[in-house]
Amino acid sequence: MNYLPMIIVFPLIMAIIMNLLHGKEKAVKYITFITAAILIVLPFISQYGYYYFGGHGVVDGWVSGIAYLYNPAKQAVIVTLSLIASLVLITGMGEKLKNNMFVTLSLMGFASIAAIVLADDIFNLYVFFEIVSIVQAGLVFLSGTEEAYKAGLRYMIMGNVAAALMLLGIAFLLASTGTLNITDMKNYLLVDNPMIYGGLLLLIIGLAYGAGLPPFHNVKADLYARSKGFISAMLQTYSKFVLVGLMLIILKLFNGLDYFASAHGVLIALGVLAMVFGVVMALLQSDYKKLLAYHAISQGGYVATGLALGTPLGIVAGIFHAINHVIYKSALFLGAYIVSCKRGSNLHKLGGLLPLMPSVAFMVLCAKLAISGIPPFNGFQSKWMLAQAAMQVNMPEITIIMIIVSIGTFVSMMKAFYLIYLKPVDEETLKEYENKEVPKLAVFSLFVLTALCIIIGIYPDIVINYLWDYAKEIGVNYYLK
């Protein structure tokens, strides 16, 4: 039996069940834990290859119905998504209010992202793209603050416009090719025409919105900053894998075609702008969660740039950095959540936490070194690959920008570490800290993620080996003169 459809169907069923358990907190926690465990298992017991819902398959040479494609590269992404979702769900079990809604929305988001990554049918992808946009706004609303409501509403309004444009782009491609299946569509894109140009442009707009690339970076960063810390970990994971899923589809459809050259440059430019805007904005922040939110944008720029290079090495580096990024960034957001339980996230009101939580401080420091690209952590390995990919196509200026952005990342991360853990504080503040407990489930999740930062940093091949075959299939080797 192929369990592949269960990766999407199971969380959707559990989301419905959770929604019916309003007010039954003990039942919600018990079932949440079991659900989290099953989410991690499903990607390992699913079979590689195409899966056709309803058994339609290929009819008269055309793929009929909804199709999913599962391969080792997509397995690596889904396993990472499952791990982060499970840890965030477990962390959320410590929260008391509206727990069933948090679990319901998180599972809907998980199913949607998994479907976007697996989809070989572009309309099916669009449906789940819409769902995950609504889910993200709903998760922000759970924070219950006025700022959170404004951030979620702004995201939904902009989403209506971006998603409508993306749907129009899909309509253009359907009109030009006569199919919605991505594998079939590729065969009819060889001849360029204005409809295909329009479809590609509108897909890129949808990509920028879903991934938080310019000009949508401020809206996305606000979404992360206004959520509870552990929810921000989930939200930024959704965004990175929307970026990976959509970018892989664009590359599968257009990479190597002559008329893709100009769009190629646009995608690289969006990635570089996200890198630079993100780190500059992060350096200006005095709120810790906002600082992390803008770094999530900046790191998304690395991912987008690597994938946009379109070479096998660039694609491997881009996916690898997306996986690394969601791991260390989730660790950082969980660290921020633990700190906020003590005294909020204003950097100027924090300090002196090192003696009270030395193990948390050490794990957060590891995550900060990982995001800064310091060896032997996982962030170094993927940034090194990204730099090699840029040099391989004769774009050394991208490598230089990556290095400068990494320096800016390191400076802002060390500044935040000093202000939170090392800055001297008075006795009254220390007593205030001691009266507030540390969420133990969040510390457990932080430990798992930190361990992964080190393990993948030392043994990067345990991830990279899964990515090469698909990257060679859709990547194109070239060298700019």
DSSP, residue by residue, 406-467: HHHHHHHHHHHHIIIIIS---HHHHHHHHTS---HHHHHHHHHHHHHHHHHHH-THHHHTTT
CA 73 from chain centre, in angstroms, equals: 15
SS3 assignment, position 237: helix
What's the confidence (pLDDT) of residue 71?
A: 96
Asked if pLDDT for residue 413 goes beyond 80, the answer is yes
Residue with tokens 């007010």: 23
Q: Phi and psi for 110 in degrees, rounded to 5?
A: -60, -50
SS3 assignment, position 100: helix
- Collect all residues with Cβ–Cβ distance below 8 Å to 400 and sequence separation of at least 6: none
Q: Phi and psi for 47 in degrees, rounded to 5?
A: -90, 145
142-146, 218-222, 309-313, 324-328: range with lowest mean pLDDT: 142-146
CA–CA dist 85, 233 (Å, integer): 9
Q: pTM (2 decimals)? A: 0.96
Give the number of C-alpha atoms closer than 13 A to the C-alpha of residue 144, restricted to the C-beta side: 4
CA–CA dist 417, 357 (Å, integer): 13
Average pLDDT over residues 315-332: 97
Average pLDDT over residues 38-64: 85
Closest of 86, 160, 107, 116 to residue 326, by C-alpha: 86
Q: How many CB atoms lie within 10 A of CB 411?
A: 14
Asked if pLDDT for residue 481 goes beyond 80, the answer is no
Closest of 128, 37, 118 to residue 83, by C-alpha: 37
CA–CA dist 211, 301 (Å, integer): 9
**Residue 416: pLDDT band with limits 50, 70, 90:** very high
Residue with tokens 């253009």: 172
**Cβ 279 vs Cβ 301: under 8 Å:** no
Asked if pLDDT for residue 59 goes beyond 80, the answer is no
Please report, rounded to a whole number, the percentage of residues in the chain having pLDDT higher than 90: 77
Average pLDDT over residues 403-415: 96
What DSSP string runs through 321-344?
A: HHHHHHHHHHHHHHHHHHHHHHH-
The encoded tokens of residue 402 equal: 């990556």
Q: In Å, how far are 78, 171, 240 from 381, measured between CA atoms?
A: 20, 40, 18
The encoded tokens of residue 162 equal: 């971006």
**Cβ 371 vs Cβ 381: under 8 Å:** no
Higher model confidence: residue 121 or residue 450? 450
Average pLDDT over residues 56-62: 74
Mean pLDDT of the chain: 92
Q: What is the pLDDT of residues 458-472, one digit of tens each?
A: 999 999 999 999 999
Average pLDDT over residues 226-252: 95
What's the confidence (pLDDT) of residue 429?
A: 86
What's the confidence (pLDDT) of residue 37?
A: 95
CA–CA dist 73, 85 (Å, integer): 19
CA–CA dist 256, 478 (Å, integer): 9
CA–CA dist 230, 76 (Å, integer): 22
Residue with tokens 């195409």: 50
Average pLDDT over residues 244-265: 91
Q: How many CB atoms lie within 10 A of CB 97?
A: 9
Asked if pLDDT for residue 97 goes beyond 60, the answer is no
